[in-house]
Structure 1
């Protein structure tokens, strides 16, 4: 008798294994690191924008916008640093063409969806390049996330066409997502070059996936994230998708206008420049994400967007 493996369950198990690899004591380490960073650390405010319109094109679709604000505290430790913080963000997803009327939005095109969330996180970094991070986000998927109002406002500011089919977005669902990442080492073949591999995972009713990432940097490098730097970088990601509510609707919701099946393997590449000097930090990169929808041609479903991060420390 053959047992049929459920892809979502398999990826959930892989995600749990990735999160379990984090070198934290679940009952004390995460909380202690957060408290130490908050009590003794310096404060950083960071704004992050993902948007395909920043590439100076007038059409957008799929993952069309991501907005995040983070406040974090960083404290030095023997041989490294700890960080703790909180964040709030919003992600917007639309059909491939926002000018399509509601009646023409359906499979295999991307559903309209918005995810509004807030969360906390704790992380450790060592001078040898190893690091670990764990956190949890809680939020709302669907009309409660305010995606229609946000996108209409942005498009009026940018003088772009208004989206036509937010009336067919996925239904409301409260979501919880546990996320984590661990990098066991950093390889430094030259003083101006390093490569850091990591594993990461998310587990929840909005996103469940597990993946592997490689980050290569070249330039004036820093050993720890809060040190001065000026470098170019290339990040390559691959992830196995168990559940993606922006495509499938919330895990516990039903009656969605339309949903689509995700591709189980999704790749992403990002190339950019990072700079940190004194209290100011900036990072800009171009991201190429592969097709996320099983029944769309890869040439049609892939997408490009620009990522911009600005931060100030005091």
Structure 2
């Protein structure tokens, strides 16, 4: 098991290095610069985006595992006829609970998902060409554990929605400060038919909260845009395969000696089906995700999860 973990950690690190090499080698997809950020902020448009992820949006009153994510970001985008350049900042909070929030601490099974909150803030940048060739980087700093405020958020939200209160936040993972570096790249789009395209993408994260690498394919069909934030209206389907080196929301903080921690499955993934409508100023996206089991100690049937993702954007 230790050899497998080291192999996945090495693979994630090599993927990050490969993405960085791609960015440096491409003349149009360079690493970030302060002068470029200033130019984009001064001459581009500002875009606000709110993203909500929640399993309760399925209307089955189901709160389990990855139960909620609330993410707010502002980005500055400058576009030419050939390329889009984007810089931005973001804040987010992700919540994780056991298989049943009504279980008391004494009723939790040893292999149940631990309660955890991940609160973070970060910066990111992205360049995208008309062909779909793109590079994205991100840096997030945050806190895992009681300092993330997960208990407060879920308790107050459930009071407002008149849902059952979670009973075992007292068992949540210990505090740990976290740093996560992220990178993504796409070699470009395939255009098999009019109004249809397929985009491969490779991603990696490296840090003491998440370390993983993944590959995905996204199919879009409808009125498509060539650059992000251009008017569009299309349905999409995305499939992602992932290898996992470390997941602190399951194992506890990397630098903590967390007792009774679980083991993440070294391979997994998710599928997503959704629809996006984009106008000049406004954009709305809604999708349903199916995420594979992430915990080695439980069965795949028990650990698989469904949740809804909603995104709302406004360009100033």
TM-score range, shorter chain: over 0.9
Q: CA deviation at 1:107?
A: 2.6
Structure 1 residue 153 corresponds to structure 2 residue 156: yes
Q: CA deviation at 1:24?
A: 4.2
Q: 2:117 aligns with which of 92, 103, 114?
A: 114
* In structure 1, distance between residues paired with 2:264 and 2:81: 44
The count of corresponding residues between Structure 1 and Structure 2 is 310
Q: 1:173 aligns with which of 176, 198, 210?
A: 176
What's the counterpart of residue 29 of structure 1? 31
* In structure 1, distance between residues paired with 2:214 and 2:14: 9
Superposition pairs of residues 291-302 of structure 1, within 5 angstroms: 291-302=293-304
What's the counterpart of residue 285 of structure 1? 287
What's the counterpart of residue 96 of structure 2? 93
Matched-pair contact (CA < 8 Å) for 2:143–2:176: yes
Q: CA distance change for structure 1 residues 166 and 209 in 2, over 3 Å: closer, same or farther?
A: same
Stretches of 4+ aligned residues off by more than 3 angstroms: none
Report the TM-score, using the length of structure 1 for normalisation.
Answer: 0.95
Structure 1 residue 19 corresponds to structure 2 residue 19: yes
Superposition pairs of residues 125-204 of structure 1, within 5 angstroms: 125-204=128-207
* In structure 2, distance between residues paired with 1:8 and 1:171: 24
Q: CA deviation at 1:149?
A: 0.4
Matched-pair contact (CA < 8 Å) for 1:121–1:136: yes
Superposition pairs of residues 37-76 of structure 1, within 5 angstroms: 37-76=40-79
Render the CA deviation track for 1:215-270: whole Å, top value 9, x for unaligned: 100000000112100000001001100000000001001244x3210000111000
RMSD: 1.7
* In structure 1, distance between residues paired with 2:149 and 2:70: 13
Q: Secondary structure at the match of 1:23?
A: helix
Give 5+ residue unaligned stretches, structure 2.
none
Q: CA distance change for structure 1 residues 21 and 178 in 2, over 3 Å: closer, same or farther?
A: same
Render the CA deviation track for 1:254-310: whole Å, top value 9, x for unaligned: 244x32100001110000000011200000000000000011110110000000000
* In structure 2, distance between residues paired with 1:213 and 1:39: 34
Render the CA deviation track for 1:78-132: whole Å, top value 9, x for unaligned: 6111000000000000001111111222431100000000000011010011111
